Amino acid sequence: MSFDHDRALSEAFDGQASLFEKAPVQTDPLAIERLIRISGFPAGSRILDAGCGPGLVASALVQAGHRVVGVDLSREMIDRARNRCGTPAGAAEFHQVSLHDPLLDGLAPFDGALSRYVLHHVVDPMTFVRRQVALLRPGAVLVLNDHLTDPDPELAARHEAIERARDGTHTRNLTGGGLIDVFARAGLERIHFLEEPFVLDFDEWFDRGTPELPKEEVRRMILDGPPIRGFTPSLLDDGSIRIECVRGFVKGVKPARA
pLDDT tens readout for residues 94-108: 999 999 999 999 999
Q: How far apart, in whole angstroms, are the C-alpha atoms of residue 212 and residue 166? A: 6
Contact 44, 67 (CB under 8 A): yes
- Give the whole-angstrom CA distance, residue 210 versus residue 32: 25
Alpha-carbon distance of 99 to 50, in angstroms, equals 7
Which residues does 26 contact at the CB level (< 8 Å), separation at least 6?
20, 53, 56, 117
**Partners of 241 in the β-ladder:** 235
Question: By percentage, how much of the chain surpasses pLDDT 70?
Answer: 99
- For residue 55, being part of any structural domain is answered with yes
Alpha helix ranges (H) inside 21-70:
24-27, 29-39, 56-63
State the greatest distance between any 2 C-alpha atoms of the chain, in Å, as a whole number: 59
In a domain, 222, yes or no: no
- The secondary structure of residue 120, as a DSSP letter, is G
DSSP code for 121: G
User: Is residue 229 assigned to a domain?
Assistant: no
pLDDT at 53: 97
In a domain, 243, yes or no: no
What's the CA gap between 191 and 185, in Å, rounded?
11
CB atoms within 10 A of CB 91: 17
Q: What is the pLDDT of residue 89?
A: 82
CATH of the domain at 57: 3.40.50.150
**Each residue of 81-133: pLDDT tens digit?**
999 998 888 899 999 999 999 999 999 999 999 999 999 999 999 999 999 99
What pLDDT is attached to residue 98? 96
For residues 81 and 75, give the distance between their C-alpha atoms in angstroms, rounded to a whole number.
10
Residue 100 lies in a domain: yes
Range(s) of the domain holding residue 24 = 2-149+169-197+248-253
Question: Which tens digits make up the pLDDT trace of 15-46?
Answer: 999 999 999 999 999 999 999 999 999 999 99
Burial 38-59 (b: 16+ CB within 10 A, else e): ebebeeebbbbbbbbbbbbbbb
Res 86: pLDDT: 86
Is the predicted pLDDT of residue 258 greater than 70, yes or no? no
The model carries a pTM of 0.95
Query: What is the domain count for the chain?
Result: 1
In a domain, 49, yes or no: yes
